[in-house]
Structures are given as C-alpha cells and as structure tokens.
Structure 1
Amino acid sequence: MKHGLAALCAGAFAVLLGLASVAAAPVDDQFRAWLANDLWPEAKAKGVSKKTFDAAFSGVKPNLKLPDLVTPGEQPKTPKTQHQAEFGAPGAYFAEKTVGGVTAGGRARAAAHARTLAEVERRFGVPGPVVLAIWGRESGFGAARMPYDAFEVLGTKAFMATRKDMFRKEVLAALAMVERGAVKRDAMKSSWAGALGQPQFLPTSFLEHAVDMDGDGRADIWNSTPDTLGSIANYLAHHGWRKGRDWGFEVVAPDNVSCALEGPDIGRLISQWAAMGVRRVSGKPFPAHEANAEGFLLMPAGRNGPAFIVTPNFYVLKDYNMSDLYALFIGHAGDRIAYGDRGFAGRWGSVDKLYRSDIAGLQRALESKGYDVGGADGLPGFKTRRSIGDWQAKNGRAPTCFPDAGLVRALK
C-alpha cells in the first residue's frame, strides 16, 4: 500500500512538473502546441484539410501587441487604458472631420452607385444612405488599409484573448472560408480585431451574410462594390431591419421625463412619448406611420448630451458594432447623406475623464445596491446609465445618468 501511495505521489509530482514546464515554455511554443493538439482536431472535424490548416498558420506567431490578451496561466485584469469612445466625452466620437468625411463621401458615391443601391434596397429593405454610411465608417469606402494577417490576429485571440471562445469560432470560420475557396490564403488581411474586407465582417459574418450582387458567382467583399453594399444590407436584414421605419429622431426630453427611462426594454408608442412632452428638435411632428409604433429613449451622454427617440432599427445598427455611439453615428451620417448636412441640435458637454477601472468599480457598487448594470465591465451602457440616474434621484441628486468623478467617490 505504501509503495502504491508512493508511486501515486511520484506520478502526481511528475504531472505537476510537466504542467509547470508547459506553463514556463515560451508563448510561441505554447501556441504551436495549442494549434497542433487543440485547434487542429476541431478544424479537421469541421472539414478543414491539413493542407489548408498548415498554409493558414505557416510562419504565424502570436502577436503580443494586440489588445485584450491574457498571458497563459494568468488571470485577466481590467485595463486602465482607454480604448473606447465611451471612456471619454461621447461627443468626441462625432468629430465633424469624421462625420463630414463619411457624409461627403457617401453623397459623392450615391449617384455613381444609384442602380446598385436601388437594387439593394429592393432586395433587403435597407435605405441606401444607411448602407453608404456603414461602408464609409468601416473602411473609408474601401480605402482603409488592412495591415494585419487575419490568421495571426484570429489565432492569437483564440489562443489568449479575454474572449477566447468567440475568436475560436472566428478562426474556424476563417479556415472554412479558405477551404471552400471563398478567398485565397494570401488575401486574408484584416484589422487588428480580425475584421475582413470593406464591410469589416468577422469570418462568421462573411459566411452568414456575404452575397454576390454583381453576378460573377462569388461574394467578394474585398474588391466588389456591389457585393460590399449588398452584404452590408443583407447583414442588417438578417438582424431584423424593419423596412419603412426610420432609425430614430433627435428630440428634446423635458425634465419630467427621467433619463432613467432609457433602454430597448422600456419601450412606448412614440405617440406616448410625445404625450409626455418629448418633441422633435426640428419642430415637426413625428411621422404618422411612426407615431403608433414603438420607440425607445436614448441618451448616450445622459443629461449632458443630445436625446433621441429611436426605433428597433437603431438596435439593428448596434448589432453591427456593439456601441450606442456607433449606431448613432451611422443613423446620423445616413440622414446627412440623404437630407443634407445638419449637425446635432443638442450640445455634447464635456465629461470627467475616467478609467475603465473607475467605471467598473462604480458598477460593482451599484450592483451591491441591487441594480442591474449589465455587468461590471467598465462600459457605461444604457443599464449603467439608467441605474446611475435612479440612484441619483433616490439620493437627492439631480439625475444626470452618466458617470463622473464625484459619483465614483460617492459610491466607493
């Protein structure tokens, strides 16, 4: 019995030594082992050939300069650096140089691609100006350089990103693209996030939504403008775009309409918002076909910025890039492409500069008080914004529905 126990202990010790040696191995070696022993078996089971797999990762090493990586064996930490627009003043996202460039570029291309855009709208129900705004925002109408090797980015992130499971699906989808002949290996260039082509699709989005609009027998989101425009519209249609509805309207929300009423889960008929005193900044009534449909309050900077009543189409735009500011940018730029330049009527105020860790701490404090903030991720989304507003109102403060330095101190 003692011999058996000694042998068992020795065996366990050997296993621990083996694990320690793996953990201590250079990241490049761990990556190659992961490719061979973990990713390849699943890729093979999904129909990827060894030739395709080996070509995809030939010479590829993990790119440790990419954001949101976790060194194997370590726990993820909430970064203090600010990479997202929400961490600073939301108004900075709408710099006129950026919005004006997309707007002017979209108008310049609207006539040249009028026939394609009309066919796109007929097939998918998505207005041309919205499609043009996404095309311009995502890739500068195809002019933006894609300097990264997609398999380097996706492989690195599938191996060691904070969202490994998501990127594992994407790298497997990228392998499927090459295996099926949708694109050649050498053409798999991407952004730092692994997004591809002029619409900046992740590989799963390419497989699900890319379409052949020019009739050459293949969906080419790298070189074909018709395929690019059609693929963008198809993505939106698949995510629930409602033909005939707008994306939303800038409004004036009076003080009696709490900013804590924001969110896609607190809908009212637009006529009911109007009855509460919410009115369009243009002075025009809400369109008759919208008045008896559902709308939602959006205040991306709380009381320190413009307010909007948005439709379900706004949240379809948000599906394209999970940011309220992104969806608002596209809707706003689309309006300017369609109707001419007109900025927001409401002013974007300055906000306190906060680190992501500051906001995460504030979110955890609100969670401890029973609020649903959508997770303590350091992102002030609508659930965090309205929770702030509710807490402020209950504690004798004027609701602003946006984080600030004083609020961070008060909730510590």
Structure 2
Amino acid sequence: MFRQILAAALMGLTLVAPAVAQDRAAVERQFQSWLSDTIWPAARRAGVSRETFQSAFGGVRLDWDLPDLVPPGSTTGPRRQRQAEFGNPGRYFNRGSVDGATSVGRQMARTHANTLAAVTRATGVPGHIILGIWGRESGYGRVDIPHDAFRVLGTKGFMSRRAEYFTGELLAALRIAEAGHAPPGAMKSSWAGALGQPQFMPSNFLEYAADGNGDGRADIWRSEADTIASIGNYLARHGWQAGRDWGFEVRVPDAVSCALEGPDRARPIADWVAAGVTRVSGRPFPDHELRQPGSLLMPAGRYGPAFIVTPNFYVLKDYNNSDLYALFVGHVGDRIAYGVGDFTGRWGDVGGLMRSDVAAMQRGLEALGHDVGGADGLAGFKTRRSIGAWQQANGRAPTCFPDAGLVRALAR
C-alpha cells in the first residue's frame, strides 16, 4: 500500500483514508450487491453475457489500496490534499528514461519495421512517433501491468470521487471482454484502469483500438502489431497531419516575449523566423513548414529549452495532456529515427516549490484578470505566459516560470 500512496502523493492526487471504524466487510457486501443490482443489468443491456460477467467478477473484491476512494458511510470529513513538489521540468528527461526509451526503441524499429511501415501508410503517423508513445506508456510492453482491470474499475466505479466516469469505463471493459479481444486473465490495467501496452482507457479502446495482425481481435496486451496499429489509429483520428513534424528546438531572442507562448497564439513559422527565432541546429526550417502555423513552447520559461511546435504536438497532448509528455515522445522519436542528441538548451535550476504554493500564485494572477488555465498547482502554458505578462507589466524581466519571489508577490 505504501508504494501506491507514495506514487499518488508525487502526482498530486487526492487521497482519502477511510474512517478507522469503517466496516470493510459491510462495504464488500454492498459492493457485491451493487455489481448484481446495478452493473449486471446495465451490462446485459450493453450486450454482455452472463458468462462474461461472471468470469470478470468471479472472486473479485474491492482494492482498498487504490487512491481517491470514498467508501459508503465514510466519515473522512473535508477533502484533504497532499500537494506534491512542483519540480524542475528537466527531471522528466532523466538520462535513464531517455536513453532506455531510445535504445529499445531502435531495436523495436528494426523488429517491427514492416508493421510500422504499414501503419504509417494507413494513418500518416510516422513509426518513430508511435514508438515514442509505446516506449513511454509501457516500455514497449516490458513494464509490468499488474492490476486486474475489473477489480480496479469496479472499485473506482463503486467508491471513488469520479464514480460515474469509472462506472462507464467498467461497462466498456465488459464489452471488450465480451468481444473476445482479450482472453480470460489478460485484462490487466494500471491502478487507474488504463489497459495494455498503449494504456488506453476502456472507452478509448472501443473507439480506437485496431487489429494490426489480421486475426480479428485488437489484443493490446500481448500483440505488438495490434499495439502499434492502435496507437497510430488514435493519433490519426485525433488529427495528426501527415508530412508535418511535431516541432523544432529553437533559440528565442530577448525581443520575442515568452508571454507569446501557446497554440492559440500560433502564427506562420515564417513570421517567427522574421522575428529572429532560429533553429538550434543552424539549419533553416523546411520550406513546406514556413507557411504553416507554429506555436512557441517554453516548458520552463526562460529557464529551459524553447521550441516551435506544430499542431501535431497538440495531437500528442491529446494522448496525455502534458507538455512534457508530448515533448518527451517527440524527442525520443527523433532520437530513434534521426540519431539526434540532447536538447541544446539546458534546464535551469528551478522548481522546489510546493504545488499548493503555485496554486496560490495562480489564484493571485486570476484575481488580476489573467487566465491561468485553472489554479491546479501546475504551470501549463497559460500560467507561464500569464507570469510573463505580469512581469512585463510590472517592469520585470519576463521569465514565464514560477519562483519563490513570484509566490510572495502574488499568492492568494
């Protein structure tokens, strides 16, 4: 249980401990009644057979170690949050993660060259981008995915703060089992209910999973071909633009404000060039990109590498809504395909704040009329550029990244 609690705390998740006197046996009985009286009728209406239902839930009990649980009759009182440290973005690109995903990815590129080429022809998504996601999500299928999906989703559907959402995902998982995509015992998930090697939530599986080896199933647990095809299909269906890159590392002169960051402030890449933005490689931007829109991305403000990214970057964010995730995937993909090295820009020594501190600073910016994208303690592009705009308005050099001085000046 300690590992789950620690992991949740590090991700800023809400943890609610059941009351000491909680009668777990009584809650288990309520869970079984909920399965029989609520979930089974809904599953039957969705076309799930009794055999599939019983196979899924035979012997399944609640998983009390999962985060964000609210047992029936709980007397936990007000919601409590454990705010994780707001760290240096550079930690996301640690040596082991980047090198491991790259070296194994190159092996996978050779092993699955035919499948990757076929999926690229069908979807327009480059194989090295698919490999970047596969490596990040499950280490190319080498990372253990230990949880019983029905136990996780059943527990969260019965007693979590997002019970309605997870109940829908549970019913989607039963439909997957009914269709025979995964044999009995293969329906493994993360602690959040994400399935298989591409880590699809069940509803995403039903929408985007693809059969890559022609056997009539989309087995994202054991089939590398199905995993590759499913990731490619997901990205294509979310708008991947064939023939365009995801982005380019650049140098941003002081005259170009970091407060210009964000996809809603995109402009033709030729305009960024005219403003003095250059590629760190010294090479010009490809001719076919110059007329196309590009956005400024500075994930650590002036304390880290800068990029001009295309709409494809934001397709990667549709897979996992994190600038750093999308940047990692694109970067590892480039290392696999082109042998590029580390980013030229260095990550500065920033971070060390608590997420609660960052959230207080965000509330201060909101009170001044800035759109920070929500006071969640995470510095997304709306928060970063709001910081830069406030700094400029107050005669400060814009850095576009939280620090202790900004917290003292703005916290609410």
Asked if TM exceeds 0.5, the reply is: yes
Change (3 A) 1:162 1:363: farther
Supply the distance in 2 between the matched residues of 1:76 and 1:339 (Cα, whole angstroms): 52
Change (3 A) 1:361 1:336: same
Q: CA deviation at 1:409?
A: 1.8
The residue identity in structure 2 corresponding to 1:80 is R
Change (3 A) 1:355 1:105: same
Task: Tell whether 2:88 aligns with 1:89.
Answer: yes
Q: CA deviation at 1:230?
A: 1.0
The residue identity in structure 2 corresponding to 1:105 is V
Aligned to 2:243: 244
Aligned to 1:347: 346
The 3-state SS of whatever aligns with 2:263 is coil
Q: Deviations over 1:214-254 (max 9, x none)?
A: 11221111222211111111110011000000000001111
Cα pair 1:373 1:383 within 8 Å, conserved: yes
Q: CA deviation at 1:276?
A: 1.0
Supply the distance in 2 between the matched residues of 1:297 and 1:165 (Cα, whole angstroms): 37
The 3-state SS of whatever aligns with 1:296 is strand
The residue identity in structure 1 corresponding to 2:178 is E
The residue identity in structure 2 corresponding to 1:388 is I
Task: Tell whether 2:304 aligns with 1:305.
Answer: yes
Aligned to 1:63: 63
Aligned to 1:9: none
The residue identity in structure 2 corresponding to 1:363 is Q
Aligned to 2:12: none
| Identical amino acids, percent of aligned pairs | 63
Change (3 A) 1:174 1:276: same
Aligned to 1:261: 260
Aligned to 1:368: 367
Supply the distance in 2 between the matched residues of 1:388 and 1:173 (Cα, whole angstroms): 41
Cα pair 2:182 2:221 within 8 Å, conserved: no
Q: Deviations over 1:180-217 (max 9, x none)?
A: 22223421111122111111111112111111121122
Which deviates more from structure 2 when the two are superposed, residues 65-74 or residues 171-180?
65-74
Aligned to 2:183: 184
Task: Tell whether 2:210 aligns with 1:208.
Answer: no
The residue identity in structure 1 corresponding to 2:128 is P
Cα pair 2:210 2:233 within 8 Å, conserved: yes
Q: Deviations over 1:103-156 (max 9, x none)?
A: 111112222221111111101111111111111111111111111111122222
Which deviates more from structure 2 when the two are superposed, residues 353-362 or residues 331-340?
353-362
The residue identity in structure 2 corresponding to 1:43 is A
Change (3 A) 1:41 1:395: farther
Q: CA deviation at 1:279?
A: 0.8
Change (3 A) 1:257 1:168: farther
Supply the distance in 1 between the matched residues of 2:247 and 2:172 (Cα, whole angstroms): 34
Task: Tell whether 2:386 aligns with 1:400.
Answer: no
Change (3 A) 1:395 1:69: farther
Supply the distance in 2 between the matched residues of 1:390 and 1:399 (Cα, whole angstroms): 7
Cα pair 1:82 1:356 within 8 Å, conserved: yes
Change (3 A) 1:338 1:39: same
Q: Deviations over 1:234-277 (max 9, x none)?
A: 11001100000000000111112111111111110000111111
User: Could you state the TM-score of these two structures normalised by the residue count of structure 1?
Assistant: 0.88
**Aligned residue runs from structure 1 range 276-291, under 5 A:** 276-291=275-290
Task: Tell whether 2:125 aligns with 1:126.
Answer: yes
Cα pair 1:357 1:378 within 8 Å, conserved: yes
Change (3 A) 1:164 1:391: farther
Cα pair 1:352 1:405 within 8 Å, conserved: no
Supply the distance in 2 between the matched residues of 1:78 and 1:54 (Cα, whole angstroms): 36
Gaps of 5+ in 1: 1-21
Cα pair 1:366 1:387 within 8 Å, conserved: yes
Cα pair 1:70 1:76 within 8 Å, conserved: no
Supply the distance in 1 between the matched residues of 2:398 and 2:70 (Cα, whole angstroms): 38
Q: CA deviation at 1:25?
A: 8.7
Supply the distance in 2 between the matched residues of 1:325 and 1:31 (Cα, whole angstroms): 38
Aligned to 1:14: none
Supply the distance in 1 between the matched residues of 2:178 and 2:409 (Cα, whole angstroms): 56
The residue identity in structure 2 corresponding to 1:53 is F
Aligned to 1:330: 329
Q: Deviations over 1:350-369 (max 9, x none)?
A: 21312222222222222222
Aligned to 2:8: none
Change (3 A) 1:24 1:123: closer
Cα pair 2:180 2:217 within 8 Å, conserved: no
The residue identity in structure 2 corresponding to 1:405 is A
User: Could you state the TM-score of these two structures normalised by the residue count of structure 2?
Assistant: 0.88
Q: Deviations over 1:355-412 (max 9, x none)?
A: 2222222222222222211122222211111112112222222222111222122112
Change (3 A) 1:378 1:179: same
Cα pair 1:79 1:357 within 8 Å, conserved: no
Aligned to 2:355: 356
Cα pair 1:80 1:356 within 8 Å, conserved: no
Change (3 A) 1:208 1:55: same
Q: CA deviation at 1:305?
A: 0.7
Which deviates more from structure 2 when the two are superposed, residues 261-270 or residues 394-403?
394-403
Cα pair 2:320 2:326 within 8 Å, conserved: yes
Gaps of 5+ in 2: 1-21
Q: What RMSD over aligned residues (CA atoms) do the two structures have, in Å?
A: 2.3
Aligned to 1:172: 171
Q: CA deviation at 1:93?
A: 0.4
Task: Tell whether 2:82 aligns with 1:80.
Answer: yes
Change (3 A) 1:53 1:248: same
Count how many residue pairs are aligned between Structure 1 and Structure 2: 389
Supply the distance in 2 between the matched residues of 1:76 and 1:54 (Cα, whole angstroms): 37
The residue identity in structure 2 corresponding to 1:42 is A
The residue identity in structure 2 corresponding to 1:144 is V
The 3-state SS of whatever aligns with 1:56 is helix
Task: Tell whether 2:201 aligns with 1:199.
Answer: no
Aligned to 2:223: 224
Change (3 A) 1:81 1:218: same
